[in-house]
Chains A and B, each alone.
Chain A
């Protein structure tokens, strides 16, 4: 059996026909099935054509023991498999482009924030040819050093979020992501990941209280810092202005528990079980147009599990009345993360 498979751009992907004349003859086949007299081999030749979205398959045979019926059966078999391959290929392409689009979308947002922050500090048109750029930039920085400090923090945050995007892309698209389990002081890791968000908390007048804690946890720093970044990023969006953001710890022989307590946007009781599901955003988050792509908490749980830990969400854990602020409902909510000590 001879075969020749072309892509939809006309390129030959796969073929076992070496004779170029025969190749040229076979690709002239226009019918689903036909019998032709082949002048190259001076023999009868059966040939057929199967076309799918991305593939064109030509098959041919000189085998005289084959009947037309058997040849057509073989073609049917090939047709089924080519449909399957075509479907899988289309699915894979769609999946890949969705992932890439998401990554691209988020990276463009973060990067444009960085550029805009930089140009806000030093206007783009002030950097003209012939100017001494260094002196000019220095002038802007000195003139409003407080503004420069703000810019620094905002850039730090965007850059860290970009990093988190890359890490997540790596971790979710690798069958066995590389995890580097080492002992880390969880308090230190929290502070390091919280730093870039400090300004956002200050802007909504939220005061942060972190209980001192010296114990270590056995974690992969990379993934846990992504987890915390997502939680803090969400917190800056969903916390009630002028409230407290409290982080405390507790430990037993095996694990450390981190309690993140806050007054944040109400999570309806029927939403609690869905909070860690993919592509799911809360009712109030949607209403106030604060919701993102709904991947945050899904990721948080996935990455905590990679660290052999657990994460749970406790809505209205104090059972207090709902607090209304700017027409939005807020409640005492808590996230508990448990991480292994060794």
Chain B
């Protein structure tokens, strides 16, 4: 697309926004396994290019760095959530994680899925997805890929902003216009809620801000 900004690219501090490649997205996205036992899929994901995949045995507190920085958390049902003394271990932890970080994706995984008690536990519903421990590496990969793209692909991000604006003010904005606004934020490197609400011309831009901030800063 030719616009005047591109013509003065030597004056620009930052090149215009473009779509991120899957490789770039893989390098950005932080995946955290919370599992008391080592599980080879952690290594399998790393080998597949998800370099920022790590595991902790349990959560000491909800503000700990690994949890705070993670974009996707994959939580075992058994053996975790003990340190924070949650009833129902991992399921209790999932509820707490989703309450504290509603925008982070939480996947619940367990060896014994489908159990009746678990199926009706609110922790199961709080999670964004359920995976069985014997799910294929492909299932783990396609799940994290889907969530990572939601957060870090320009295309997905613009789509989410469009949906959110329609939901909030009932107005639809064209894709090109949103990209232009995103470019403006990107050029100025100012992702404060005030700036975002000014650029998007919204009184309350908190939801849009969290999508935009996550996209640009990873936080």
Binding site for B on A (CB under 8 A): 163, 166-167, 170, 174, 176-178, 180, 182, 184, 188, 192, 221-222, 225
Residue in B130, B134, B136, B139 whose CB lies within 8 Å of A166? B134
Contact, CB under 8 Å: B142 / A178: no
Q: Is A182 touching B142 in the complex (CB atoms < 8 A)?
A: yes
Cβ-defined contact, A222 with B142, below 8 A = no
Q: B114, A222: Cβ atoms under 8 Å?
A: no
Smallest CB-CB separation from B115: which chain A residue? A174
B138 with A192: CB separation less than 8 A: yes
Cβ B113 vs Cβ A178 within 8 A: yes
| Closest A residue to B130 using CB positions | A178
Q: Indicate which residue in A178, A182, A221 contacts B146 across the interface (CB closer than 8 Å).
A: A182
Query: Chain B's nearest CB lies how many Å from the CB of A322?
Result: 39
Q: How many residues of B contact A (CB 8 A)?
A: 14
- Residues of chain B contacted by A166 (CB below 8 angstroms): 134
Contact assessment for A178 and B134 in the assembled complex, using a CB-CB cutoff below 8 Å: no
A167–B135 CA distance with the chains assembled, in angstroms: 10
Mark each residue of chain B from 120 to 149: 1 if its CB lies under 8 Å from any CB of chain A, else 0. Answer: 000000000110101110110011001000
Q: Roughly how many angstroms separate A106 CA and B185 CA in the complex, as a whole number?
A: 60
A221: chain B residues within 8 A (beta carbon):
136, 138-139, 142
Q: How far is the CA of A212 from the CA of B139 in the complex (A)?
A: 22
A174 touching B114 by the CB < 8 A rule?
yes
In the bound complex, what is the Cα–Cα distance between A167 and B146 (angstroms)? 23
**What is the CA–CA distance of A294 and B104 in the complex, to the nearest angstrom?**
45
Question: Once bound together, how far apart are the Cα atoms of A192 and B140, in whole Å?
Answer: 14
Which of A180, A188, A192 lies at the interface centre, i.e. has the most chain B CB atoms within 10 A of its CB? A180
Whole-angstrom CA separation of A225 from B157 in the bound complex: 31
Q: Is the CB of B134 within 8 A of A177?
A: no
Q: Main SS of chain A's interface residues? A: helix
- Asked if B84 CB lies within 8 Å of chain A CBs, one says no
Contact assessment for A178 and B119 in the assembled complex, using a CB-CB cutoff below 8 Å: yes
Cross-chain contact A222 with B138 (CB below 8 angstroms): no
What are 13 of the A-B contact pairs (CB < 8 Å)?
A167-B132, A174-B119, A176-B119, A177-B114, A178-B114, A178-B130, A180-B129, A182-B143, A182-B146, A188-B138, A221-B138, A221-B139, A222-B132
Within 8 A of A (CB), among B69-83: none
Closest to B116 in A: A174
Do A184 and B134 touch across chains, with their CB atoms under 8 A apart?
A: no
A221 to B113 CA separation, bound complex (whole angstroms): 16
Contacts of B139 in A (CB 8 A): 221-222
Known: A178-B114, A180-B129. 20 other contacts (CB 8 A): A166-B134, A167-B132, A170-B113, A170-B114, A174-B114, A174-B119, A176-B119, A177-B114, A178-B113, A178-B119, A182-B142, A182-B143, A184-B142, A192-B136, A192-B138, A221-B136, A221-B138, A221-B139, A221-B142, A222-B139
Q: How far is the CA of A178 from the CA of B163 in the complex (A)?
A: 28
**Contact mask B46-75 → A, CB, 8 Å, 1/0?**
000000000000000000000000000000
Nearest-Cβ distance from residue A220 to partner chain B, whole angstroms = 11
- Rounded to whole angstroms, the CA-CA distance of A167 and B142 in the bound complex is 19
Whole-angstrom CA separation of A167 from B132 in the bound complex = 9
Chain A residues whose CB sits within 8 angstroms of the CB of B142 once the complex forms = 182, 184, 221
Q: How far is the CA of A174 from the CA of B130 in the complex (A)?
A: 16
Question: CA A167 – CA B114 in complex, angstroms?
Answer: 10
**A residues in contact with B130, CB < 8 Å:** 178, 180
B114 partner residues in chain A, CB cutoff 8 A: 170, 174, 177-178
**Cβ-closest chain B residue relative to A225:** B136
Query: A163, B134: Cβ atoms under 8 Å?
Result: yes
Q: How far is it, in angstroms, between the C-alpha of A174 and the C-alpha of B136 when the chains are bound?
A: 21
Q: How far is the CB of A2 from chain B (nearest CB, A)?
A: 34
Complex interface: chain B residues within 8 A of A177 (CB): 114
Q: Report the separation of the CA atoms of residues A319 and B201 in the bound assembly, to the nearest whole angstrom.
A: 68
Report the minimum CB–CB distance from B111 to chain A (whole Å): 10
Q: Nearest chain A CB to B124's CB is how many angstroms away? A: 9
Residue ID in chain B nearest A166 by CB atoms = B134
Contacts of B119 in A (CB 8 A): 174, 176, 178
CA distance A221 to B141 in the complex (A): 13
Residue of A nearest to B138 (CB): A192
Q: What CA separation (Å) do A192 and B141 show in the bound complex?
A: 13
Residues from 22 to 47 in B contacting A, C-beta threshold 8 Å: none
In the complex, A154 Cα to B130 Cα: how many Å?
A: 29
Q: How far is the CB of B151 from chain A (nearest CB, A)?
A: 17
- In the assembled complex, the Cα of A177 lies from the Cα of B113 at a distance in Å of 10
Name the CB-closest residue of A to B135: A222
* Alpha-carbon distance A178/B112, docked complex (angstroms): 13
Complex Cα–Cα for A182 and B144 (A): 13
Report Cα–Cα, A40/B159, bound state, in Å.
81
Q: How far is the CA of A188 from the CA of B145 in the complex (A)?
A: 15
CB contacts (< 8 Å) of B138 on chain A: these are: 188, 192, 221
Contacts of A192 in B (CB 8 A): 136, 138
Instruction: Determine the distance from Cα of A222 to Cα of B139 in the docked complex, in whole angstroms.
Output: 9
CB closest residue in chain A, given B111: A166
Measured CB to CB, the nearest residue on chain A to B118 is: A178
* Smallest CB separation, A87 vs chain B (Å): 24
A182-B136 Cα distance, complex, nearest whole Å: 15
